[in-house]
Structure 1
Amino acid sequence: MSGLLPSLESIENFAKGTIATAAGLGTVGVGLLFFGQNYLIYPSAFPPGSRTEVPLPIDFGLPYQDPELVTPDGLKLPCYLLLQRKDMSHVEAPEVETREDESDEEFASRRPTILMFHGNGGNVGHRIPLAKVFYVKMRCNVFMLSYRGYGRSEGSPSEKGIQIDAQCALDYVSSHPALSSSPIVLYGQSIGGAVSIDLASRNPHAIRALILENTFLSLPRLVPNAFPILGPFAFLCHQKWDSASKIPLIPRDIPILMLSGVQDEVVPREHMQGLWEIVQKRVSRRSKEVDAEDRTERNGKTVHDIVDRGAHSRFVEFEKGTHNDTCVQQGYWTTVAEFIASLRVRSTSET
């Protein structure tokens, strides 16, 4: 696993992009909470060159397709698709069981598909090192969405617009010849976690699981925590991303893995803890037979598990993780890999 983990050096561009969260929100003024807040919440041009310089998967030795989505409102979004193949020896991927008469398309259809939603800075290319772990180590298909107004995608970002983009991506994957029967897992970092929760709440029938990293209860509720002096003016924030109200709409048989950096300087730890409390209530409210929560501490991380008859959700805290480096903390990718593997085991046992 260690050879495939995204090193601090390999995700330099990724970190530069996501650090825009802190830079953007740190400059919010009372007036800008309403006027021009989209430019602060979605700093797609930071770091400089992010709108034109978009790394390609081939730069990291990954074969890929580049589907261009066209949204219902007519915008073109160039995206990346990493489709599994039976023979992945060219990237030294672990072998998995295949049938001799099975085509690459049939093989890909049996593998999980990760639908990636990135944070609010940089572009889709900055997250390729993370996609590589899913693709190579876990043998997952990966679809990387480029939001409107990001990278080379057309348009300007907004909550409503990105919701349209996410739905368009899900519809594409769901209708793809090789992916239509693949279990779909949403992976969202920071604001991408809010995108994932919103999409799952509107398409529970199409989603197998969610993986959420360092996301928030809602943007208006983030303002008082991060900037107490602006608390009284949080109502001016019209970009809501209200995850707290949407998680209860996600059925209990959809497991959720939550990954939280305890030292997160952008999204206070309490937000992930608050979302976890809602996940727990979602389970206990809908089932009378729920196992008690199990809490363990090991190797710099705290693991909270809650299991019911339909799902296994987990909340993991990384003691040294900050907003932009939680994904390189010890145990992060092992936790993710175990979660993905557990989905396959349950899926097999349910059929």
Structure 2
Amino acid sequence: MKFNYDIIQYSTYILSFIVGISGFIIYKLQNKIIYAANCPIDSRKFTYTPKDFEMDDYEDLDIKTKDGIIIKAFLVKKFVDDKKTRLAKTTLIYFHANAGNMGHRLPIVKSFVEEYSCNVLIISYRGYGFSEGQASEEGIKIDAETTLEYIFKRPDLKDSKIVIFGQSIGGAVAIYLAAKNQDRIHGLILENTFLTMRKLIPNLIPLLTPFTFLCHEKWESEKELLKFTYKMKDKNGSENFLPILLLSSELDEIVPANQFEELCQILRNTRREASTQKEREIEESLNREQYIPEQILVPEQYNVFWYRFDNVHHNDTCIHPEYYNCIKNWWNKNIEDCY
């Protein structure tokens, strides 16, 4: 019995040591895992430029953040006159997903510029592409705030209608920035994003589920969603919530479908609680008229628009034939025609 007890005791020590070391490694290396700036290979050594995709009207920017980091950005311009003296009245801020750099998203940028006649400002987060620094939640939030302030400091952009667009982890960045600036922006587009990083980890790496408490890059979007109660006046003087478009992929293998759906429900429930009884009755009436059986969620409620694209995954949503049409319909109704 003594022999067996010793084996059990030593095994427990070894297991505890392995668990402790594993936890330490996960804690220290999580930034490199979450922020895949080197994927694809050479993403920190090479960046496509707008010119590579036949966009000649652009600026290659160095933007200095309040903590002294230089981040790289492209401002792709949309001129509305032949002499190229007047810029489009809407500017989109684009926050990309966790891998690669801003250059990998330029085909999507081009479609936005051409389809929606807007300027696009896209950044490489700190630690990505040719930007300085190391990626972290705290740092990327500073990058996002700096990007918005940059627009308001430019004479040719400061009066723009601002739309913020975020994909995947970029959606968490967009939620954070929009929640703080609801009175300064005009729209928010979120694609395949999550509630919190800690809730996402079990879906990505089930073996790490017991260690989620060690995740310090929290990105707690579900808390930020509770702030979206601000009402803005449209050009007719009517008060409405900030328009938000949620784009979901049916076969998303990264963000569980139920997590993005819950995000939508939190937004809508938050706004429902902030609405009057009359406004609630109107919303319920509209829902009965607009409900589409194929959709998992009601397509529109409290100015939160939901659309799910069939047969596409987390990273190829934009190839769906209805992708740009869906955004354009929302854009025309809520950005061009409202403000």
Alignment TM-score, normalising by the size of structure 1: 0.81
Deviation at 1:202, TM superposition (A): 1.5
- Aligned ranges 1:209-224 → 2 under 5 Å: 209-224=187-202
SS at match of 1:323: coil
Percent identity between the aligned chains?
Answer: 37
Per-residue CA deviation, residues 119-173 of structure 1 (Å, 9 max, x unaligned), is 0100100000000011012111100111101101111100000000000100001
The residue that corresponds to 1:42 in the other structure is 35
After the TM superposition, which of the residue ranges 32-41 and 139-148 deviates more from structure 2?
32-41
For 1:86 and 1:338, locate their aligned partners in 2 and report how far apart those are by CA, in whole Å.
Answer: 21
- Aligned ranges 1:168-183 → 2 under 5 Å: 168-183=146-161
For 1:78 and 1:261, locate their aligned partners in 2 and report how far apart those are by CA, in whole Å.
Answer: 29
Q: Which amino acid aligns with 2:292?
A: T
For 2:218 and 2:178, locate their aligned partners in 1 and report how far apart those are by CA, in whole Å.
Answer: 17
Q: Which amino acid aligns with 1:333?
A: Y
- Compared with structure 1, are the counterparts of its residues 335 and 302 closer, same or farther at alpha carbon in structure 2 (3 Å cutoff)? farther
The residue that corresponds to 2:61 in the other structure is 67
For 2:119 and 2:296, locate their aligned partners in 1 and report how far apart those are by CA, in whole Å.
Answer: 29
Q: Is the 8 A contact 2:187 2:335 kept in 1?
A: no
The residue that corresponds to 2:262 in the other structure is 274
For 1:345 and 1:153, locate their aligned partners in 2 and report how far apart those are by CA, in whole Å.
Answer: 33
SS at match of 2:253: coil
SS at match of 1:54: coil
Deviation at 1:346, TM superposition (A): 4.3
Q: Which amino acid aligns with 1:285?
A: E
For 1:247 and 1:86, locate their aligned partners in 2 and report how far apart those are by CA, in whole Å.
Answer: 35
For 1:32 and 1:187, locate their aligned partners in 2 and report how far apart those are by CA, in whole Å.
Answer: 33
Matched, 1:189 2:167: yes
Question: Alignment partner for residue 48 of structure 2, among 34, 52, 55?
Answer: 55
Deviation at 1:33, TM superposition (A): 3.4
- Compared with structure 1, are the counterparts of its residues 30 and 317 closer, same or farther at alpha carbon in structure 2 (3 Å cutoff)? farther
The residue that corresponds to 2:332 in the other structure is 341
Q: Which amino acid aligns with 1:270?
A: N
Deviation at 1:76, TM superposition (A): 1.1
Deviation at 1:305, TM superposition (A): 2.6
For 2:258 and 2:24, locate their aligned partners in 1 and report how far apart those are by CA, in whole Å.
Answer: 26
For 1:140 and 1:302, locate their aligned partners in 2 and report how far apart those are by CA, in whole Å.
Answer: 31
The residue that corresponds to 1:78 in the other structure is 72
For 2:210 and 2:193, locate their aligned partners in 1 and report how far apart those are by CA, in whole Å.
Answer: 22
The residue that corresponds to 2:127 in the other structure is 149
Matched, 1:257 2:245: yes
Q: Which amino acid aligns with 2:268?
A: Q
Say how many residue pairs are matched.
299
Q: Which amino acid aligns with 2:272?
A: S
Matched, 1:248 2:226: yes
The residue that corresponds to 1:122 in the other structure is 100
For 1:306 and 1:44, locate their aligned partners in 2 and report how far apart those are by CA, in whole Å.
Answer: 35
Per-residue CA deviation, residues 47-69 of structure 1 (Å, 9 max, x unaligned), is 11100110000111102111210
The residue that corresponds to 1:4 in the other structure is none
Question: Alignment partner for residue 185 of structure 2, among 184, 207, 217?
Answer: 207
Q: Is the 8 A contact 1:260 1:321 kept in 2?
A: no
CA RMSD of the aligned region, Å? 1.9
SS at match of 1:79: strand
Note the residue ranges of structure 1 that are not aligned, 5 or more in a row. 1-28, 89-102
Q: Which amino acid aligns with 1:296?
A: I
Q: Is the 8 A contact 2:264 2:304 kept in 1?
A: no
The residue that corresponds to 2:12 in the other structure is none
SS at match of 1:161: helix
Question: Alignment partner for residue 330 of structure 1, among 315, 321, 324?
Answer: 321
SS at match of 2:148: helix
- Aligned ranges 1:155-166 → 2 under 5 Å: 155-166=133-144
Q: Is the 8 A contact 1:302 1:318 kept in 2?
A: no
Q: Is the 8 A contact 2:80 2:86 kept in 1?
A: no
Deviation at 1:345, TM superposition (A): 4.4
SS at match of 1:155: coil
SS at match of 1:149: coil
Deviation at 1:321, TM superposition (A): 1.7
Q: Which amino acid aligns with 1:325?
A: D
SS at match of 2:60: coil
- Compared with structure 1, are the counterparts of its residues 208 and 32 closer, same or farther at alpha carbon in structure 2 (3 Å cutoff)? farther
Alignment TM-score, normalising by the size of structure 2: 0.83
Q: Is the 8 A contact 2:79 2:86 kept in 1?
A: no
Per-residue CA deviation, residues 73-92 of structure 1 (Å, 9 max, x unaligned), is 1111121001111247xxxx
After the TM superposition, which of the residue ranges 170-179 and 193-202 deviates more from structure 2?
170-179
Question: Alignment partner for residue 307 of structure 2, among 313, 316, 338?
Answer: 316
Q: Which amino acid aligns with 1:274?
A: E
Q: Is the 8 A contact 1:65 1:81 kept in 2?
A: yes
Q: Which has the larger radius of gyration?
A: 2
For 2:138 and 2:256, locate their aligned partners in 1 and report how far apart those are by CA, in whole Å.
Answer: 25
Q: Is the 8 A contact 1:33 1:234 kept in 2?
A: no
Q: Is the 8 A contact 1:116 1:144 kept in 2?
A: yes
For 1:302 and 1:87, locate their aligned partners in 2 and report how far apart those are by CA, in whole Å.
Answer: 43
For 1:199 and 1:190, locate their aligned partners in 2 and report how far apart those are by CA, in whole Å.
Answer: 15
